[in-house]
Structure 1
Amino acid sequence: MPRVLMLKDEDPRARVETIDEERLPERAVTVDIDFSDLNYKDALAVTGKGKIVRDYPFVPGIDFAGTVRSCEGGRFARGDKVILTGWGVGERYWGGFAETMRVDEEWLVACPEALSTREAMLFGTAGLSAMLSVMRLQEAGLARGARVVVTGATGGVGSWAVKMLAHYGYEVHAVTGKPNQEAWLKELGASEVLGRHEFEGEPRPLEKSRWAGAIDTVGDNVLANVLAQMEYHGLVAAVGLAGGSELPTTVMPFILRGVSLLGIDSAMQPLARRREAWQHIAELPEAVRHAMHYEELGMEMIAERAEAMINGDIHGRLLLDPHID
């Protein structure tokens, strides 16, 4: 009988329970979960501070990596290593904060041979989103060596973006509200660390040109100020809204400087694109794959660390091993 983190519309909201496997969803693939991770969306779901979960009881967790136990279709065999991210899992469908879960076949990607399931979840949705952002910027023509700014740089997506961009030869400028993490961000590859306060003021239509590229995880005034500072034909990948979903800007960056705003979605990416991104991740040198700061936790710690994440007290990644206390 698997243990799960069960959310209920009562107090306490989150509790670890052992359930009969008959209570798992009736879906085609049964996966024994090796690792999951705690993302910002998970933190909103667990704490109830975001309208992520609407039906209870519910098992959250927007991604996981594990081993196939059984598959009713022919795509996976027993023992295959697989990764799941997105598709509404952990939001509409029971997710990865469990020892075992049943999911649809088309939601799964084979874990590349060069990547362990543990490594896969050190990246998780955050690392996948960062890689998709980098890929989109490169495909849009961002030249190696260009100046790229990354906002929300101590978060999961932001920190992986800093590391990946530096690896690919870009000049990375990291924006954060945590000045005490400057040394760590420079270890990841940032050439400069800027305070978030520099980007939170009332946006002007245009500012002095500073950046050829950008990866924004924050939204709202921060994204608007980044757009105003882009060089001619600058490229901005928008991948998050930790600071809000508004965008208080004008069309001037787009029609006077030819700036492109590129939306990045990881949840509903087609299978081929997911495979491509995970292969790029697997091809990163071992030193890059193992560079991330992380904290490993069991399910009993999720609620506490979710609160800390909402409060901005986390940097790097939170790796979940569902089999430890």
Structure 2
Amino acid sequence: MKAFVVEKIEDKKFYCGVQDIEVPTLEENEVLIKATYSSLNYKDALSSVGNPGVTRVFPHVTGIDVAGIVEKSTSEKFKVGQKVLVTGYDLGMNTNGGHSEYVKVPASWVVTIPQGISDKEIMIYGTAGLTAALSVNELLNNGITSGEVLVTGATGGVGSIAVAILSKLGFSVTAISGKEDKIPFLKDLGAKEVILRADFDVENKRPMGSEKYDGVIDTVGGNILAEALKVVKYDGVVTCCGLTSSHELLTNVFPFILRGVRLIGIDSVECKIEKKIAAWEKLAGDFAIETLEELTTELSLDDVKEAYEKLLAGKAVGRYLVKL
């Protein structure tokens, strides 16, 4: 079968590209999926260059998402012909991932694709869409059901989907992006206002600013998250799911103890499967957005390497869909 494989040539030197490899064989309680679609994420790009925080087992197939049809199953939970998807867990990290024609996974990782959404659509969402849906759910579940929401890293996968979902739900969305030429793209997704990253990511020693946002969906971390916390309204909610700006957070306690701001971490990798299923059902229903095609670039396996270079250089916009 065809697969996108990363090989370790020597210490800190890696090669990646499309290869022919053997179709995996199943053990007990496993599922073999005939892949139809996958997607590209920043974590996949890190895996392609041998980032040890993501992947330590080589040769390795990238792809932390996959959707397709059950080809074989040694689990009573899944039957041949079912339409299924897998995101998160160890897929595409140290377990061969979704960028191959067939994918073997433990049955406990597999979710049936909900009614009302296709395998293509669910992979346009992918891990990014799942993370965005989990983030929006935390706002809603913690009382933020209307008002103004700030989305950071808004042209990325998670950010762009979050902007579109929030806009559909009636929120007034302000987007932060470092890409001035993508302001029309963000406005088309539903952003009411766009702030350039350079104007927001500034050194500011004030412990707090004026109250402005009811909620924040942060995808980048670092100083941008620290500054966002300072301008959240009383009893506001901030979710955090990324670190492309920085993994460090230099902040103070004032927003938390004077305004009751809540900071909630979002993990789409190991969260309970019931939580994932609920989020996928929302994406197939209340959260479904009409701009999926507008924020998607479709690729073949042969296009993946070039797309990884864009992701690592911070030049990617929206979602990359891989057709298998």
User: So what's the TM-score if we normalise by structure 1?
Assistant: 0.94
- Gaps of at least 5 residues in structure 2 are none
Residue 3 of structure 2 corresponds to 4
Q: Identity of counterpart residues, as a percentage?
A: 39
Residue 157 of structure 2 corresponds to 156
Structure 2 residue 273 is matched with structure 1 residue 271:
yes
- Counterpart of 1:318, as a letter, is Y
Alpha-carbon deviation of 1:66?
0.6
Corresponding residue to 1:213 among 215, 218, 221? 215
Structure 1, residues 36-85: CA drift from partner, whole Å, max 9, x if none? 00001111111335631111111111111010011111111111000100
Alpha-carbon deviation of 1:292?
3.8
Counterpart Cα distance in 2 of 1:161 and 1:25: 37
Asked if structure 2 preserves the Cα contact closer than 8 Å seen for 1:188 and 1:291, the reply is no
Counterpart Cα distance in 2 of 1:291 and 1:214: 25
| Matched positions, count | 319
Q: What SS is found at the alignment partner of 2:305?
A: helix
Residue 125 of structure 1 corresponds to 127
Corresponding residue to 1:94 among 93, 96, 116? 96
Asked if structure 2 preserves the Cα contact closer than 8 Å seen for 1:199 and 1:221, the reply is no
Alpha-carbon deviation of 1:143?
2.7
Residue 59 of structure 1 corresponds to 61
- Counterpart of 1:127, as a letter, is G
Deviates more, 1:86-95 or 1:165-174: 86-95
Residue 195 of structure 1 corresponds to 196
Structure 1, residues 148-175: CA drift from partner, whole Å, max 9, x if none? 0000000000000000000011000000
Counterpart Cα distance in 1 of 2:228 and 2:292: 30
Q: What SS is found at the alignment partner of 1:267?
A: coil
Counterpart Cα distance in 1 of 2:287 and 2:225: 31
Deviates more, 1:291-300 or 1:96-105: 291-300
Residue 318 of structure 1 corresponds to 320
Deviates more, 1:199-208 or 1:127-136: 199-208
Counterpart Cα distance in 2 of 1:243 and 1:47: 19
Counterpart Cα distance in 2 of 1:244 and 1:14: 26
Counterpart Cα distance in 2 of 1:254 and 1:285: 29
Say what the alpha-carbon RMSD is for the aligned residues: 1.6
- Counterpart of 2:107, as a letter, is E
Structure 1, residues 268-316: CA drift from partner, whole Å, max 9, x if none? 1212111111111011476626354211111121111101111121111
Q: What SS is found at the alignment partner of 1:221?
A: helix
Asked if structure 1 preserves the Cα contact closer than 8 Å seen for 2:152 and 2:217, the reply is yes
Counterpart Cα distance in 1 of 2:280 and 2:288: 14
Counterpart Cα distance in 2 of 1:135 and 1:32: 31
Asked if structure 2 preserves the Cα contact closer than 8 Å seen for 1:121 and 1:319, the reply is yes
- Counterpart of 1:53, as a letter, is T
- Counterpart of 2:193, as a letter, is E
Counterpart Cα distance in 2 of 1:252 and 1:291: 42
Alpha-carbon deviation of 1:234?
1.2
Q: What SS is found at the alignment partner of 1:65?
A: strand
Q: How does 1:25-64 map to 2 (within 5 A)?
A: 26=27, 28-48=30-50, 51-64=53-66
User: So what's the TM-score if we normalise by structure 2?
Assistant: 0.95
- Counterpart of 1:207, as a letter, is G
- Counterpart of 2:57, as a letter, is D
Q: What SS is found at the alignment partner of 2:192?
A: strand
Q: What SS is found at the alignment partner of 2:308?
A: helix
Residue 113 of structure 2 corresponds to 111
Counterpart Cα distance in 1 of 2:52 and 2:261: 32
- Counterpart of 1:43, as a letter, is A
Alpha-carbon deviation of 1:252?
1.1
Counterpart Cα distance in 1 of 2:3 and 2:184: 37
Q: 1:285 to 1:133 in 2, by over 3 A?
A: closer
Counterpart Cα distance in 2 of 1:47 and 1:153: 25
